[in-house]
Amino acid sequence: MGKKIRSALLSVFYKDGLDEIVQYLDNNGVKIYSTGGTLSFIEGLGVQAHSVESLTGYPSILGGRVKTLHPKVFGGILARRNNPDDCKQLEQYEIPEVDLVVADLYPFEETLSGGASEAEVIEKIDVGGMSLIRAAAKNYSDVAVVASRRQYAELLSMLKENGCGTTQANRKYLAAQAFNVTSHYDSAIFSYFNLSERIPSFKQSVQGSMPLRYGENPHQKAAFYGSFGDMFEQLHGKEISYNNLLDIDSAVSLIRELAEPSFVILKHSNACGAASRPTLAEAWAAALAGDPVSAFGGVLACNRELDRATAEEVNKLFCEVVIAPAYNAEGLATLKQKKNRIILAAKTFELPASQSRALLNGVAVQERDLSVEAEEDMTAVTAVKPSAEQVQDLIFANKLVKHSKSNAIVLAKNRQLIAGGVGQTSRVDALRHAVEKAASFGFSLQGAVMASDAFFPFPDCVEIAHKAGVAAVIQPGGSVNDQKSIDYCNANGVAMVITGVRHFKH
């Protein structure tokens, strides 16, 4: 048997599910104190409750801003039952003990996300509820606390298991849950007031987690903290791993920048296949052709509903994950033939504007690279200008290189990834790797384009590319030796455009 609940204070914004707790407390002779709308709700159930005003002798004032902030309320919550002086003062000032506090918080985040005015947002900063929750959680040795409607069912189960009481372990667990709620709430409020980032403090609170199959390696445990279900619906397959999640992030970041029907195939966060075509089936065939070897065990993503014909072709390949905005019934059934294949339906969602990464003994934060260069962002710096078709290939290649690990070079033609050299310590090595890879799969680079994630420090890259057949180049520029690369292109009839935007990715 746990510590018996004899009195409870209930003051909540959300009433859903509260009725069962109220009825159970009443049936077990618990004296209930309450405020405002919660009091009316309880009385509407036919249950007797006592107003906080009758306890404190003060009405709710300042438009409801002050209701429970009073020694007769907080004394009964914070009093240590094993401390004789505390108990003596409760008796002296006629303060009743409170054994259970059920309080939630005004919906600050919901109000903020709804586009409310500043005055409306400020009014949703909870003061009394926060104070009640923190006081009860601090005194968990004697008081049980519930700070969210998500815990109503759990509380009711605890009470029933312990004869309308709670154990010390119950109360400590509930206190931890309460501080989780209040710390998250305070983080959201701080972020609102620090939108200008004038205060150099990193605070991020993410509620909810998803266990991952394992980390980068099977001996490493891992979890994802976030709302995966807000972004994807998993329709089939095994539990997602840490590596799957990294590839999913990269695949989604890339595919959402491609407007035409497109398919991308990723391996270790780099595209090994990508193509845009009039139909999804054509895009899949072209993407796979880019590197059918690396595609094995990859993560696939497309930007149109996945139909049966395309699904049948995809199903011939062993792949870890398939991502699409939708699937027709026959296509989905085909893909489900592999029991472990992870099938995700991508929802409409926005990615955060900033990215953070744990480094050394802290966290590094940067703005997300949202720059996507179009034709008007290109400056032609050579006598030969790229053709209309080459411009489209340059745009396509530049998107791919942006989402490739540096140093990165992408070779493309007809909006198809021909080959990429990624993650190399030398840009020349990245290019040579791409040229060799293209040749190994029988691709001709005559008329292809080249994209580089950063400038060329020397003209060697454009020379190698030209000799391999590349006809047009896109790069950010900015090297003191830019003119040397431009001169080589001019001397050999190669078109070059500069964007002024570097796309390193580490």
For the stretch 433-492, pLDDT in tens is 999 999 999 999 999 999 999 999 999 999 999 999 999 999 999 999 999 999 999 999
Q: Write out the two tokens for 463.
A: 């020379």
| CA angle centred on 38, ends 35 and 39, rounded to 5° | 60
Nearest partner of 35 among 22, 50, 23, judged by Cα: 50
- Give the pLDDT confidence score for residue 432 in this predicted structure: 97
| Per-residue CA distances from 205 to 184, 187, 232, 413 (Å) | 5, 7, 21, 44
Mean pLDDT of 160-179: 94
- What percent of the chain stands above pLDDT 90? 79
Q: Binning pLDDT at 50, 70 and 90, where does residue 290 land? A: very high
DSSP per-residue letters across 438-459? HHHTT---TT-EEEESS--SST
d(CA 79, CA 28): 23
H or E stretch at 224: strand 223-225
DSSP per-residue letters across 30-81? -EEEE-HHHHHHHHHTT---EEHHHHHS---BGGGTBSS-SHHHHHHHH--T
- Give the pLDDT confidence score for residue 114 in this predicted structure: 85
Mean pLDDT of 305-316: 96
Q: Binning pLDDT at 50, 70 and 90, where does residue 84 land? A: very high
- Give the pLDDT confidence score for residue 58 in this predicted structure: 76
* Structure-derived torsion over alpha carbons of residues 462, 468, 469, 473, reported in degrees to the nearest 10: -30
Question: Would you say residue 29 has pLDDT above 70?
Answer: yes
| CA angle centred on 307, ends 306 and 312, rounded to 5° | 100
Question: Would you say residue 1 has pLDDT above 70?
Answer: no
- Give the pLDDT confidence score for residue 459 in this predicted structure: 94
d(CA 207, CA 185): 10
| Per-residue CA distances from 223 to 205, 211, 226, 349 (Å) | 15, 4, 10, 21
Mean pLDDT of 161-168: 93
| Per-residue CA distances from 377 to 205, 282, 383, 497, 501 (Å) | 37, 29, 18, 9, 9
d(CA 286, CA 272): 12
Q: What positions carry a catalytic annotation?
A: 138, 268
Question: Would you say residue 215 has pLDDT above 80?
Answer: yes
- Give the pLDDT confidence score for residue 109 in this predicted structure: 87
Q: Binning pLDDT at 50, 70 and 90, where does residue 196 land? A: confident
Terminal Cα-to-Cα distance of the chain (whole angstroms): 56
- Give the pLDDT confidence score for residue 351 in this predicted structure: 87
d(CA 242, CA 359): 18
For the stretch 48-76, pLDDT in tens is 999 888 888 777 778 777 777 788 888 99
| Residues linked to residue 236 through DSSP beta bridges, in sequence order | 343
- Give the pLDDT confidence score for residue 60 in this predicted structure: 77
Q: What is the pTM of this model?
A: 0.86
Q: Binning pLDDT at 50, 70 and 90, where does residue 201 land? A: confident
- Average pLDDT over the chain reads 93
